[in-house]
Structure 1
Amino acid sequence: MPTPDGELWQDIFFAASDGLRLHARHYPATEARGRPAICLPGLSRNGRDFHDLAVSLSTDTRAPRDVYAIDYRGRGLSAWDKDWENYTPLIELEDTLDFMALAGIHQAAIIGTSRGGLIALAMAALRPGAIGAVILNDIGPVIENRGLARIIGHLGKTPTPRSWSDATALVREMNERDFPAVPKEQWEEIARALFNEENGKPAPAYDPNLAKAFEGIDLRQPGAEQWGAFTALYPFPTLTLRGENSDILSEDTLEKMAELHPNLETATIAGEGHAPMLKDQRTLETISQFLAANDPSRGR
């Protein structure tokens, strides 16, 4: 479906199996030659995080592809769920699969940031036919407790800024230490992805009840490791990105992933933490080359 002149994406609203109104963005390629890509964001994030990547992939002259960026329930432009217990990776996987069935998508390239990567692991185990290739953005079978504690500490507690200039300053202040490579002019773009907009001002982009799903977690205990689940990715070409300053995916875990997976590539994103923003040209090119090399008509 072509977009209106000058627009880079279409907004798609659809109903989940329980009737909740959900949202996704579709970045259509004029003549798609590569497999479609499904972008799955982090825990409290939304599909806007993938804008630069989606534009790059959908307009790539070598292998243009349709790109879809999902807003989980309770995030972005998707409706908030009255039952916070539904904010789980399994239900978010079910919603994603519902969308893929609605759009007629299978054997897609699944691009998962953090939480989205965990959903990709579950998809590989439960619906492998939906996957053709996988990109994990700063996530693996072991989640470092230090990073998890940081994320939980902010969840539902970040104040809503009064203006976009305040939002830009807040987001930059919270993140620039771990993301020194991000240009100053990009912080406003990042802030506008992080928050919704209402009446011209920033508004919450996720349901604060999402934090309830993490109540009672004892961060003094070692986190659960998912090496068994990771084996479900072995049949699929996989690219794992790690932020150089990540506190979620360690270098040791990344090395072990590369040792175990028979067809896994890795890339470290310099000057970025958890999770890489997927905005710099080098990262966009790395992703584009990986996907083009593993499209059905090319293969390895």
Structure 2
Amino acid sequence: MNSPYFRDVYFKTDDGLTLYARDYPGPTAEAAVILCLHGLSRNSRDFEDLAPLLQKNYRVIVPDQRGRGRSEADAQVEHYTPQTYILDTLRLLDDLEVKNFSVVGTSMGGLMAMGIGALAPERLGKVVLNDIGPVIAQRGLDRIKQSVGSKMIFPGWSAAADHLASVNETAFPHYATADWLRFAARACSQTPDGVALDYDPNITVPLSGATPDVRPDDLWPLFESLADVPVLLIRGALSDLLEPPCVEKMRQRNKGMEVLEVPGVGHAPMLNESGVSDVLISFLSFPAIR
């Protein structure tokens, strides 16, 4: 894909898959790096509005996790876990000779940021958690299990947009037809058989009751690994995945954490809502006091 903003990067994982990332060069070769990490069923296109804004001051790296977008699917479905994605991402950064970076992580990408905080805290600058915390609300988890994980192919982009609207309209009640078409352009791709959701449906296998990954209580130590890292928490006011009691408990455990609630939006804010990018960029730009 030719773009005036980014270059395509392909790299090999330790277990031999070929994965993809967008690399948005910064204004100088020494520019600080922002790593943008997408959610469970999404891909690097989710950041196509935010990344060019960040690129004015930073180098921005946006991977497609295995089984999403232009990255290879994994025949070993048990590898579809945040732990594996973290190792893949650190491998990418090592290949690109990036030692230190900040993270903007949406949903699963935020869980990955917490995991990086536990595994390689010395590499983290700042962290933006987009609509995710150490307690994942059951109603949101149930919705994800019901709506993600099926191989779906649509006859055209309008049909894909209609499906995505039916699944996500409670999270984005203000969206019009044009918004859902753009949503579809980010979440789907054109295939010889039609317009398909752009992920391997097996990505949800580790979420099933037969192969549990981690219990919600297990995530608090990961969040606490960010105690010395400046954190901005962004929450959709209508979110069914990150509930207010969890936000309050996060505040209690990380006194310096900043919080931004986005009105009229559920899980998860696209970060192009009015004023959100301004707050996010200001947070990333302000010198960290650690």
Fold match (TM-score > 0.5)? yes
Q: 1:65 to 1:32 in 2, by over 3 A?
A: farther
Farther off after superposition, 247-256 or 207-216: 207-216
User: Is this contact kept in 2: 1:32–1:65, CA < 8 A?
Assistant: no
* Cα distance between partner residues in 2 of 1:166 and 1:238: 39
Q: Summarize deviations over 1:167-198 as a string: whole Å, max 9, x none.
A: 12222232222212445432212111111223
* 11, 20, 24: which one aligns with 2:21: 24
* 63, 67, 73: which one aligns with 1:70: 63
Name the structure 2 match of 1:120: 113
User: Is this contact kept in 2: 1:195–1:205, CA < 8 A?
Assistant: yes
* Cα distance between partner residues in 2 of 1:188 and 1:200: 19
* Cα distance between partner residues in 2 of 1:242 and 1:225: 21
Q: How many residues align?
A: 288
User: Is this contact kept in 1: 2:132–2:241, CA < 8 A?
Assistant: yes
Q: Summarize deviations over 1:241-269 as a string: whole Å, max 9, x none.
A: 00010011111111221222132100001
Name the structure 1 match of 2:195: 202
* Cα distance between partner residues in 1 of 2:280 and 2:194: 33
Does the alignment pair 1:231 with 2:224? yes
User: Is this contact kept in 1: 2:151–2:201, CA < 8 A?
Assistant: no
User: Is this contact kept in 2: 1:142–1:225, CA < 8 A?
Assistant: no
Name the structure 2 match of 1:286: 279
2:7 partner amino acid: Q
Does the alignment pair 1:104 with 2:86? no
Matches of residues 191-270 of structure 1 in structure 2 within 5 Å? 191-199=184-192, 201-216=194-209, 223-270=216-263
Q: Summarize deviations over 1:204-228 as a string: whole Å, max 9, x none.
A: 3111112221222699xx8435222
* Cα distance between partner residues in 2 of 1:223 and 1:217: 16
* Cα distance between partner residues in 1 of 2:23 and 2:231: 23
Q: 1:109 to 1:132 in 2, by over 3 A?
A: same
* Cα distance between partner residues in 1 of 2:60 and 2:194: 28
2:266 partner amino acid: G
Question: Which runs of structure 1 show a deviation greater than 6 angstroms over 4 or more consecutive aligned residues?
Answer: none
User: Is this contact kept in 1: 2:134–2:216, CA < 8 A?
Assistant: no
User: Is this contact kept in 1: 2:233–2:260, CA < 8 A?
Assistant: yes
- Say which SS state the counterpart of residue 261 (structure 2) adopts: strand
* Cα distance between partner residues in 1 of 2:137 and 2:24: 33
Structure 1 residue ranges without an equivalent (≥5): none
Q: 1:217 to 1:294 in 2, by over 3 A?
A: farther
* 148, 155, 169: which one aligns with 2:148: 155
Shift of 1:138: 0.4
The normalised TM-score by structure 2 is: 0.92
Does the alignment pair 1:37 with 2:40? no
* Cα distance between partner residues in 1 of 2:126 and 2:155: 41
* Cα distance between partner residues in 1 of 2:79 and 2:95: 21
Q: 1:256 to 1:234 in 2, by over 3 A?
A: same
User: Is this contact kept in 1: 2:153–2:194, CA < 8 A?
Assistant: no
Name the structure 2 match of 1:146: 139
Q: Summarize deviations over 1:16-63 as a string: whole Å, max 9, x none.
A: 11110000011222337752111111111111111111011113xxxx
- Say which SS state the counterpart of residue 179 (structure 1) adopts: coil
* Cα distance between partner residues in 2 of 1:83 and 1:141: 27
Name the structure 1 match of 2:165: 172
Instruction: Report the RMSD for the aligned CA atoms in angstroms.
Output: 2.3
- Say which SS state the counterpart of residue 266 (structure 1) adopts: strand
User: Is this contact kept in 1: 2:171–2:268, CA < 8 A?
Assistant: no
* Cα distance between partner residues in 1 of 2:49 and 2:132: 20
User: Is this contact kept in 1: 2:131–2:268, CA < 8 A?
Assistant: yes
* Cα distance between partner residues in 2 of 1:32 and 1:284: 24
2:97 partner amino acid: G
Shift of 1:200: 9.6
2:137 partner amino acid: E
* Cα distance between partner residues in 1 of 2:248 and 2:48: 29
- Say which SS state the counterpart of residue 224 (structure 1) adopts: helix
